[in-house]
Structure 1
Amino acid sequence: RAVMGYRLSFDAPSAYQTGLALRQAIWKKDDARWPACGIPDAFYTDHGSDFTSARMEQVAAQLSMKLIFSQVGRPRGRGKIERFFRSVREMVLPGLSGYIPRVKRSYRSARKKQQRKMAMAGRTERQASLTLAQFDAHFRKWVLESYHHRRQRRIQGQPVERWQQGKWLPRLPEQQAELDLLLLREVKSRQVHQEGIFFQGYRYMDTALAGHVGTAVVMYYDPLDLTSVSVYAKKGHGEEERFLCVAHCQELGDQAVSLKELTQARNAQRKQLHARLDESQRVVKQTGASPAAIAGVTISSDAGLENKGAKGSVSRLKPPAFMAHISAEFLPEEEVSV
């Protein structure tokens, strides 16, 4: 019953989202508290379009993983997953700020009660109680520190103990690069500069790129975590792509920022910038001062939004300024991919 991996997202279920959950489930975790890993021999699922797609069939074939679809009225293998979702509903969600239980009879009264609480706190329903990153941290802590160490009757022990008692070697790819090529989204050719690789206005660097300055490479990235990208040498005729490195973005550090959050936050920042410029133009008409001197900002097509310092130096806004507030009352169980 150990949790091997999961995916939290506001995006609709898809073969790609399922693939990302598989990627986390299969590869070894950096956290020593999470030993579960390996390619499963069988993958039990229902007949959702994200599981029955040609993409999932390709993934299963390349991983030598058997896809087993549940039959109508006989949901073989799915009872454990449904029981896990129930544990999430009962043990995780009720303790989160802004959560409203899905109980038909009491839903309306519970919603009104929650609205009153939010009004007293000066918030509206459109203002998020938690960001997706905050919920992910809360959920992961529950999995690793509570769920994995809670004794379960059917397995006669704790999930993490039973996993460690198995004394078997998980089936793993030779290197993580194989999973990247199979499961991550591809970005078309990127040029290697002396400063590194630029993507979405951020610079990604690794020492291995020094010998490839001026050449084109292929990048693979996780749209929910832009802190690093996998870089491969482009394949020639009859050749396979060759793994070069995992390049990291120092500006983002270890703070996972998704492509969607980055885009939303930049749009919000641009709106604020245009509002300031409009205000500066109004002041210009009254005082005759320079708009740039009043606004103190410049716009870069490559880096997005930039801020000029007192001495004219240019520096990007730090990642926390790009963190978007996610408007949601609660995260229903359908958004937890296991």
Structure 2
Amino acid sequence: MGCIFRLRRGRTLARPPVPPTPEPRPPGKAAGRAASPPPRPRPRPRQTSPPAPRAPLLAVGRASLRSGQGQTPPSALYGGPIASIYAPLAAKPGRSAAHLLVASSIHHAHQPVLSFFCSFRQSGRPAVPCQPPPLCPCQHSLALRRPSLSAILVSTCPGGKTMSKSEERRTEIALFRYTLIIPLIRGEYSPRGKEKLRQKIAAGHYDIPHSSRRSVSASALARWERLYRERGFDGLKPRSRRDKGQTRAISLDTLDRAEALKREQPFRSARSIINILSLDQTNPVPEEHIAPRTLRRQLSRRGATAAQLLVEQRPKPYRRFERTHFGDLWQGDAMDGPYLPDPANPDRQRQVYLFAFLDDHSRLAPHTQFYWNEQLPRMENCLKRAILRHGRPLAIYVDRAKIYVSKHLDTICATLGIQRILGTPYYPEGRGKIERFFQFVQSDFLPELAQSSVVTLPQLNESLLASIEVVYHRKLHSETGQAPLERFRQDPAPATRPADPEDLRQAFLHRAERKVYQTATISFKGNRYTVPTYLRGKRVELRYDPFDLTRLEVWFNDTFLQLAEPEEIVTTTHPDVEPDPVSAPSPDTGLDYLALLRTERERLLQEQLDTIHFTQLDSSNPKENENDDRSQ
């Protein structure tokens, strides 16, 4: 049974009203009997008050606020600190009552808001609250349970920082001790009754935090009171171990040798270090067994983890870098996107992901697009579209995610003459340009989705493209002093190279080997295809687009033979590639910001088309054109 706290404001308030006496029972057979001597009353060891009727609970986390029916709330009765506690509880049911109570009792000690009610457990009987001490008027109690304290102590740490587990435990124990000595500190006892009150508190049974004991001694209460008067709330916290921060399972000599091995190679694991020390027969370690977890913890305290060592070794200060021309370097990365209604299940929200490539010189985005997942074919599709629009760059700069270190991407880059540069682990500073672009998407584009009619993936991509071309490409960049589109157009010698559409299509095709059956057929991902009969029993190479398995190229000895004829098509996409769900048409809800951007983009495209003279595109001889004009 946990301790029960009563809220009060001062000591001069009246005691709580006595509950009404229950109505007498109707007379029965015993009413007509002769008067008999009353039964001998049982001795009552303590004066107890009848338990109040259960009242509805207002849930506030793990603690709860009891408010009796027909009673005035504490905020109206007492105001002051009581109102400061009751009002937030009623306004925000998710806030812990214990949190507010503790904060008020610790940080507003000059306005006492707590009075102690101990509860004790009799053998074979439920716990009954003791008779309240005098000068305790409030009938609205806050029941503090120990499991709720650990959740609220983290947020009561000075400075708003998160406590460590050991400090949280010490604070929880100190809080429990503080609740026991409140009557002793406030002087809530009769003259020469302090020792009697101390014995009364010590006779109770409590749920003591982090302890199997159920009671405390009177001498402990006296010691806690003395420590609180001398050192305040911190005096109630248990003392820390004298050897705190020192290792007992590993000797200092062994730990020094382990630290030297870690600093020699920062990526060396704790298990490898233990194996090296155990195999070194020239200087054996005294420990028979060293737990890797213990060694990792001690190395972390010494600042010898891989991340800490790399921070010390990385060169500082960093220098800004920027390529000379458009297409010298494209930075690529992915970002988590918003949630959209799943076309396959409209009642379910599904997250989309953004792939983007950004030019290092101009900050222009060759192509960005949202997809339903972060798989390799999606990234390849984004890169392919960027090359189709602006040509092949000299190099791309990406991180070491799984999709960027794949062999297929390496093959694509080698085929197209593109250098793939992988970022160094623990060095994110080199990709700051594309992270800044993602910041524009998160701050200027995504917030507008809540007020728009975008509900499908095609609408989202169309709105993103409009936002980039109308806003981002025309906005002045703080670093370059120019808009990305203006800087791109003023580049005298772009480094991008044109790409032949057929060569580009071949470069992005996936490849797989299959053996031809004696029936001159092959099976691939559940589908069956027909091939020439002279290939029976031979292994052929299949080149395919993972998004379209109806078209399968058959190659033999690096020579293209023909397209495989579909015989039985079960699936049109590769199993590793989730097909794009069919989106339902969205309702027409009127104009919004993203719709205006799409309209503006169409207007800009039309202006560009109006400046092009299509009749002169194929004119190789001006005289012939003049003759054609005259003939018309």
Question: Which TM-score bucket, shorter chain as reference?
Answer: 0.3 to 0.5
Please tell me whether Structure 1 or Structure 2 has the larger radius of gyration of its CA atoms. Answer: 2
TM-score of the two chains, using structure 1 as the length reference? 0.46
TM-score of the two chains, using structure 2 as the length reference? 0.26
